[in-house]
Structure 1
């Protein structure tokens, strides 16, 4: 399989007129470069995601770039809404910036969003993959990867869809195209494993020339940290400003 086929499958998975939730990271930058359309960035004004997204957007698209600045009041509102959906603190704080993206999309007339969910699982972006490979070997690693891909479909993606549904929006997940998954996983592991320092080796390879180098080699930062949301949520929780997380 050549890299052009992977990009073609990704592009086909982006609905027409969909906006890309855009952090300026590798996963969302690849989607934006393929769609050449609109992007929505959320974060506090001094957050890393806002800085990277503003810089990267100029290289990737001539469409509309909506930059939605967060404040404590909005985070508190989003947190209350997301706690009704998510089972624990970590998942809830991930949903908060997604909630804000959905709000901005609705306010700006978009009905579809194309998310980067699944890229970490398909292209080996998590530390736990490397730990599994080193301790258990290739066969167990491959089983774990398949399990993690299926888990994100029925876990994180469903939560994202629920948040989108609150705003009447449709969510799509181009990285979770079934044919793309099968084709990527058929590539020999040594060609896609990468290293702890440079994870997602295959995605970085196919993104060369598509995204600028400062995006290609940007260290992964989870959305709750890149947007600045985590620090604010921790402050709200420590002051008892929000309700308790529900028990499963």
Structure 2
């Protein structure tokens, strides 16, 4: 996800192959990163053409697709087989994050660094120094955002609240009227002294938007569609109100230990330590982020994710385990930073995942059952999504 343009880039800079674009950073910066193999060259992600090859940043924050045979090395890297969206390709597959795909094949260039972090932190840094580093990194990310025409997708949780406070941008929440997210956003906005626009949903909104979302993200499985739908619907309203960009708090849970499973180390993770489990979650981002970017773009806005800027990722990777999560608190370091800017009731608030907090998952399930796709069927919501997509073709 983009977090704003670097000073040396624009949203569609030209790479080394004439007429083919690179998104998210300048060709000069990316060439430097290729030469040094630096996974964090100070961007919010990038992808596209550089010198007759394709590149994609270490976390896959900018989607980039090729026709499946291209990735397998069966055909030439022709421009008509490359796209930033899956819709224009017959058999689209993502270019792997951190890689370069060129005439000589696919090569892994960038990987997440292995940082030696003891209980006392990197090089024995104390907690205050580590938290200050996160604060400084977030400030760097915010400074990189062109905030002139951006609104915030606001759920009332600490992630979007911190982004909203630092950007000082308008707040929008999406959900069904009795949803957790709408209530949480209202109370958080009141505590912050901010106005809030509520995008109230009806079942008909889901019926209308589901085919568009599934087509845009190139996925029909229930979970992905349930997550993308609220992003699309709030982005749609933000675009209609004249904004060009939508800021989100994406990435905070993965980077800072926001999931219960990283504390309990249950069957959902392979790691045996909190830091290992957090790293596992970070490594899921390249598969997740294209969905979110494509949903927002399909609604007409550019997504902006300051908490996924290189500076923030580096600071998060350097945190000791006790500043990530434990039985008492998750995202400890991020909440410590947020408490410097937000009311404590907001900085310490827990929230639900967007598909549940907005009640989109519940209502999509209800629509599926009303259409005859009963819960006893395997993956009944996915079948319902596929049926809507087919009837909308």
TM-score computed with the length of structure 1 as normaliser? 0.86
1:244 equivalent in alignment to 2:384: yes
For residues 237 and 142 of structure 1, do their structure 2 counterparts lie closer, same or farther at Cα, with a shift above 3 Å needed? same
Counterpart selection for 1:83 from 188, 210, 214:
214
Q: State whether residues 10 and 174 of structure 1, in contact with CA within 8 Å, keep that contact through their aligned partners in structure 2.
A: yes
Counterpart selection for 1:121 from 244, 247, 254:
254
Runs (5+) with no aligned partner, structure 2? 1-129, 373-380, 387-393
Q: Distance in 1 between matches of 2:164 and 2:384?
A: 37
Q: Distance in 1 between matches of 2:299 and 2:361?
A: 23
For residues 196 and 220 of structure 1, do their structure 2 counterparts lie closer, same or farther at Cα, with a shift above 3 Å needed? farther
Runs (5+) with no aligned partner, structure 1? none
| Larger fraction in strand | 2
1:109 equivalent in alignment to 2:242: yes
SS at match of 1:19: strand
Give the drift of 1:126: 1.2
Query: In structure 1, what is the equivalent of residue 107 of structure 2?
Result: none
Give the drift of 1:53: 1.2
Query: In structure 2, what is the equivalent of residue 43 of structure 1?
Result: 175
Query: In structure 2, what is the equivalent of residue 224 of structure 1?
Result: 355
Q: Distance in 2 between matches of 1:61 and 1:150?
A: 36
Please report the RMSD computed on the Cα atoms of aligned residues, expressed in angstroms.
Answer: 2.5
SS at match of 1:5: helix
Give the drift of 1:202: 1.0
Query: In structure 2, what is the equivalent of residue 130 of structure 1?
Result: 263
What does residue range 1-248 of structure 1 map to in structure 2 within 5 Å?
Answer: 1=130, 2=132, 3-16=134-147, 17-60=149-192, 62=194, 65-84=196-215, 85=217, 86-132=219-265, 136-138=271-273, 142-152=275-285, 154-190=286-322, 192-240=323-371, 244-245=384-385
Larger Rg: 2
Query: In structure 1, what is the equivalent of residue 58 of structure 2?
Result: none
| Larger fraction in helix | 1
For residues 149 and 14 of structure 1, do their structure 2 counterparts lie closer, same or farther at Cα, with a shift above 3 Å needed? farther
Give the drift of 1:132: 3.8
SS at match of 2:150: coil
Between 123-132 and 16-25, the greater mean CA deviation after superposition: 123-132
SS at match of 1:20: strand
Q: Distance in 2 between matches of 1:214 and 1:130?
A: 23
Give the drift of 1:166: 1.5
Q: Distance in 2 between matches of 1:115 and 1:4?
A: 17
SS at match of 1:40: strand
Spell out, residue by residue over 1:83-124, the C-alpha distance to the aligned partner (whole angstroms, 9 max, x if none): 333342111111111111111011100110111111001110
Q: Distance in 1 between matches of 2:202 and 2:184?
A: 19
Give the drift of 1:143: 4.8
For residues 181 and 73 of structure 1, do their structure 2 counterparts lie closer, same or farther at Cα, with a shift above 3 Å needed? same
TM-score computed with the length of structure 2 as normaliser? 0.56
Between 170-179 and 195-204, the greater mean CA deviation after superposition: 195-204
Q: State whether residues 10 and 31 of structure 1, in contact with CA within 8 Å, keep that contact through their aligned partners in structure 2.
A: no
Q: Distance in 2 between matches of 1:172 and 1:31?
A: 10
Q: State whether residues 122 and 184 of structure 1, in contact with CA within 8 Å, keep that contact through their aligned partners in structure 2.
A: yes
